[in-house]
Copies of this chain bind each other. A is one copy, B any other.
Amino acid sequence: MRKIYFLSDHSGVTAETFGHSLITQFNNKDFRQETLPFINTKDKAKDVVSKINQDFDESAMRPIIFATLVRKDLRLLLRTSHGLYLDIFDVFLKSVEKELQQESAQKVGRSHGMSDIESYMNRIEATNFALTNDDGGFNQNYDEADVILIGVSRTGKTPTCLYLALQYGIYAANFPLTDEELDQGMLPKFLKEQKKKIFGLTIEPKRLRQIRKKRRELGKYSTTQQVRYELREAEKLFKRYSIPYIDTTVISIEEISSRILDQRGIERKL
């Protein structure tokens, strides 16, 4: 099995994102992946080099290393291992320095560090908003919302709202469509008033059944008939009110979130 490393002088989030974008382009499932974050001294870097070389010796397969190290001296050290060393900073930092006619700070922890209390608070407040306005919520302070997701149970509303809050600082509420709305084919008044903020989520019946059965094996909730009914009526409702919606069956939370921002023209706040 080929070893894949994600190396970073900080949290490792960028190195993982960078590496995943490349390795997922290969239909190879035989990767052993490991993240080594907080490599911020020469000693730690040397230990990592030994570890990589040991891997190489044992497997006779060259490890692939996705790295984001800000400090040049550490990059040069890590580059001496027997792995294939690919580093964002190695390749792009010079171009950006040249373009901006400015030297880079070479300070770790900037990208996912705490830039300022303002954006930290944004993120926390957006998360609180998502939590208090989850699943219909108590307050329904939808005036403050940037977006309100609607859909039947288990279409991905909650994780999408939380992701929008944590990743982008967006105030996202969600409201579940239940038999009440579906039978009447109508949205409640307080939602109709916010029509421009509403976005619908739907999913294929087969997948929804699969997801619901994991939660509640028996009962009407996960029968084919109920699931089909709910989704059909929800989609009718989206169309009646001209609410944009997407099918979440084969797309990830990142993609749902990004599409919502894109289609509703909502600006990122972080």
Q: Which residues of A contact B (CB under 8 A)?
A: 2, 10-14, 17-18, 20-28, 35, 37-38, 62, 64, 68, 70, 84, 86, 88-89, 91-93, 95-96, 99-100, 102, 104-107, 109-115, 117, 120-121, 123-125, 127-128, 131, 134, 156, 158-159, 162-163, 166-167, 207, 210-211, 214, 250-255, 257-259, 262, 268
Contact present for B268 and A35 (CB under 8 Å): yes
Given the known A-B contacts A114-B252, A162-B166, are A21 and B14 also in contact in the complex, defined by CB atoms under 8 Å? Answer: yes
Separation of A216 and B185 alpha carbons in the complex (Å): 41
Contact present for B96 and A23 (CB under 8 Å): yes
Contact present for B17 and A13 (CB under 8 Å): yes
Give min CB distance, A29 to chain B, whole Å.
Answer: 10
Contact present for A113 and B251 (CB under 8 Å): yes
Copies of this chain, how many? Answer: 2
Given the known A-B contacts A35-B268, A127-B158, are A17 and B20 also in contact in the complex, defined by CB atoms under 8 Å? Answer: no
Give min CB distance, A90 to chain B, whole Å.
Answer: 10
Contact of A258 among B11, B27, B207 (CB under 8 A): B11
Contact present for A25 and B93 (CB under 8 Å): yes
User: Which one of A102, A250, A257, A258 has the highest number of Cβ atoms from chain B below 10 Å of its Cβ?
Assistant: A258
Separation of A250 and B207 alpha carbons in the complex (Å): 42
Given the known A-B contacts A104-B25, A105-B27, A254-B13, are A18 and B88 also in contact in the complex, defined by CB atoms under 8 Å? Answer: yes
Contact present for A253 and B123 (CB under 8 Å): yes
Given the known A-B contacts A88-B21, A127-B162, A166-B166, are A252 and B112 also in contact in the complex, defined by CB atoms under 8 Å? Answer: yes
Separation of A223 and B171 alpha carbons in the complex (Å): 29
Contact present for A110 and B25 (CB under 8 Å): yes
Contact present for A26 and B258 (CB under 8 Å): no
Separation of A1 and B49 alpha carbons in the complex (Å): 42
Contact present for B11 and A257 (CB under 8 Å): yes
A21: chain B residues at CB < 8 Å are: 14, 68, 88-89, 110-111
A262: chain B residues at CB < 8 Å are: 37-38
A257: chain B residues at CB < 8 Å are: 11
Q: Smallest CB-CB separation from A263: which chain B residue? A: B38
Given the known A-B contacts A92-B22, A96-B64, A252-B120, are A13 and B104 also in contact in the complex, defined by CB atoms under 8 Å? Answer: no
Given the known A-B contacts A95-B86, A257-B11, A258-B37, are A70 and B105 also in contact in the complex, defined by CB atoms under 8 Å? Answer: no
